[in-house]
């Protein structure tokens, strides 16, 4: 923290000396509170090899604070907590013992992630450019992540054109949690109470270029291209993969097949390159209606390609109320490493014939649809005002959003979010 404050102080000092016109000090601070709830269910959990419950619930409150020190210096801080419960993660330790057919399980069904991001931006009104940097941190039980990034933006003199360049890097440290059947050590160790996990790392670097232009009074377009480079652990070690051999485990109560005996933890290459490209078109129909269209094309070296199309139509019902229905369609091809439950091949000795394999339906061939809507209440002078001895607090806006998500593999989900904005 000491070095971080020193960097901020130096940045302020250098930029202040470079100004040739007065800098106006701003007292206004903005605080945004958001609450998100997400729920899903399906029958293709990667934890149990591509079958089984995918039921998950997640509660994610978040607070963002924006502090403009003056007309050129700005700092924003985001704090959040994500708490989830997952039926599939409760199966990480679940397996049949050699001595009996009894299922054993431990409490892996919930976790909490905390995260914090701090960003600083400097706007130069003389050259019409903006630059800044970001620092981030997040932690959950099995993953600790550090993030950093820089950004630069330059606008034309009439502000009808803008180019934004961003670069970010994430460094993740993973605890290697393997399925209970294949853990090293005592074969009767079922739980996660010990803290003797092996560690692995992942580095993700993202480079983004975005160009936007106002073409006419009513039409604006935006183009963006990303390059994402990942190195290190790219698989989830607790995802199971079952292979196509004739040996099965039979449920003694129902006499049905539980699983193929040949099982390995998911394994993927330690390098991946992703290439998303997108275009957004915004058209102002009139003073009350805006249409926003978005298209993205994606490909990577896992042999996946994808097309995404979305549209949103904000409608201004009054000077203080707007509503916006939206729709999103996505389709993708399967990764060359994917196969469903018990379809990865084995040789005559029942050993896997592939070096890399997964049964995670997130990288399967599928289509998905998301649709919903929201509303925003934002009067010019705020919803309500409250004066204290030294400050005026303005309840600036209220927003709510709901979406339903359906995937061709049977996964269904929905989420709802609420947001409130206050100005001090």
User: Concatenated DSSP letters for 191-241?
Assistant: SS------EEEEEEEEEEEEEEEE-SSSEEEEEEEEEEEEEE--S-TT-EE
CB 293 within 8 A of CB 280: yes
CB 106 within 8 A of CB 128: no
CA distances from 421 to 311, 383, 387 (A): 25, 10, 16
Which pair of structure tokens corresponds to residue 286? 């009139």
Which pair of structure tokens corresponds to residue 283? 């058209």
CB 117 within 8 A of CB 146: no
Torsions phi, psi for 12 (to 5 deg):
-60, -45
For 125-218, where are the E strands, in sequence order? 129-139, 143-155, 161-175, 199-214
Q: Cβ-count burial of 280 within 10 angstroms (0-12 exposed, 13-18 middle, 19+ buried)?
A: middle
User: What pLDDT is attached to residue 107?
Assistant: 43
Q: Count of CB atoms within 10 A of residue 186's CB? A: 7
User: What pLDDT is attached to residue 256?
Assistant: 63
User: What pLDDT is attached to residue 159?
Assistant: 87
Is the CA virtual torsion 181, 183, 184, 190 positive or negative?
negative
User: What pLDDT is attached to residue 70?
Assistant: 82
Question: N- to C-terminal Cα distance for the chain?
Answer: 26
User: What pLDDT is attached to residue 251?
Assistant: 61
User: What pLDDT is attached to residue 184?
Assistant: 57
Q: Count of CB atoms within 10 A of residue 265's CB? A: 19
CA distances from 2 to 5, 12, 119, 193 (A): 5, 16, 16, 36
User: What pLDDT is attached to residue 17?
Assistant: 39
Contacts of 108 (CB under 8 A, 6+ apart): 89, 90, 91, 92, 93, 177, 192
**pLDDT tens track, the chain, 424 positions:** 444 444 444 444 444 434 444 566 566 899 999 999 999 999 999 998 898 889 999 999 999 999 998 888 999 999 999 999 887 777 777 654 433 334 444 445 788 999 999 999 999 888 889 999 999 999 998 899 999 999 999 999 888 999 999 999 999 999 888 887 776 554 433 344 555 678 899 999 999 999 999 999 999 999 999 999 999 999 998 899 988 877 765 666 666 655 556 788 999 999 999 999 999 999 999 989 999 999 999 999 999 999 999 999 999 999 999 999 999 999 999 999 999 988 999 887 788 899 999 999 999 999 999 999 999 999 988 999 998 888 889 999 999 999 999 999 999 999 999 999 999 8
Domains of the chain from N-terminus onward: 28-423 (2.40.160)
CB 271 within 8 A of CB 290: no
> Could you give the CA distance from residue 316 to residue 372 in angstroms, rounded to a whole number?
17
Torsions phi, psi for 387 (to 5 deg):
-100, 135
Partnered with residue 82 across adjacent β-strands are: 113
CB 260 within 8 A of CB 247: yes
For 41-61, the DSSP string reads E-SB-GGGTS-B---EEEEEE
User: What pLDDT is attached to residue 108?
Assistant: 56
H helix intervals, 372-419: none
Q: Count of CB atoms within 10 A of residue 243's CB? A: 25
CA distances from 365 to 5, 156, 273, 334 (A): 48, 43, 19, 4
Element (H, E) at 2: helix 2-18
């Amino acid at each position: 923290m000491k070095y971080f404050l020193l960097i901020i102080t130096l940045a302020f000092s250098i930029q202040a000396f470079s100004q040739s016109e007065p800098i106006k000090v701003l007292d206004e601070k903005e605080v945004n509170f958001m609450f998100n709830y997400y729920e899903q269910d399906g029958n293709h959990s990667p934890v149990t090899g591509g079958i089984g419950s995918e039921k998950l619930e997640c509660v994610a409150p978040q607070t963002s604070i924006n502090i403009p020190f003056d007309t050129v210096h700005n700092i924003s801080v985001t704090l959040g907590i994500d708490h989830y419960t997952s039926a599939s993660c409760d199966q990480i330790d679940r397996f049949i013992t050699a001595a009996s057919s009894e299922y054993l399980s431990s409490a892996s069904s919930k976790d909490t992630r905390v995260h914090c991001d701090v960003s600083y931006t400097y706007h130069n009104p003389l050259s019409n450019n903006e630059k800044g940097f970001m620092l981030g941190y997040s932690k959950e039980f099995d993953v600790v992540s550090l993030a950093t990034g820089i950004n630069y933006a330059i606008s034309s003199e009439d502000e009808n054109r803008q180019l934004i360049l961003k670069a970010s890097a994430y460094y993740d440290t993973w605890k290697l949690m393997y399925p209970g059947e294949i853990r090293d050590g005592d074969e009767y160790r079922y739980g996660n109470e010990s803290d003797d996990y092996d560690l692995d790392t992942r580095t993700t670097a993202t480079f983004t270029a975005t160009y936007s232009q106002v073409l006419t009074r009513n039409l604006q377009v935006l183009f963006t291209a990303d390059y994402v480079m990942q190195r290190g652990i790219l698989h989830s070690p607790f995802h199971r993969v079952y292979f196509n051999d004739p040996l099965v485990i039979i449920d003694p109560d129902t006499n049905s097949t539980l699983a193929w005996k040949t099982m390995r933890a998911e394994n993927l290459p330690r390098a991946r390159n992703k290439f998303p490209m997108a275009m957004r078109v915004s058209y102002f129909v009139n003073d009350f209606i805006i249409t926003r269209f978005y298209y993205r094309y994606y490909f990577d070296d896992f042999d996946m390609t994808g097309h995404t199309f979305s549209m949103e139509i904000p409608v201004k019902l009054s000077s203080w109320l707007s509503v916006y229905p939206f729709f999103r369609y996505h389709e993708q091809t399967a990764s060359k490493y994917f196969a469903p439950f018990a379809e990865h091949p084995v040789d005559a000795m029942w050993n896997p014939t592939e070096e890399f394999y997964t049964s995670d339906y997130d990288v399967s061939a599928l289509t998905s649809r998301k649709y919903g809507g929201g509303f925003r209440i934002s009067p010019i002078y705020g919803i309500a005002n409250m004066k204290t001895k030294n400050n005026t607090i303005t309840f600036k806006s209220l927003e709510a959003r709901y979406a339903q998500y359906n995937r061709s593999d049977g996964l269904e989900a929905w989420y709802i979010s609420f947001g409130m904005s206050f100005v001090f």
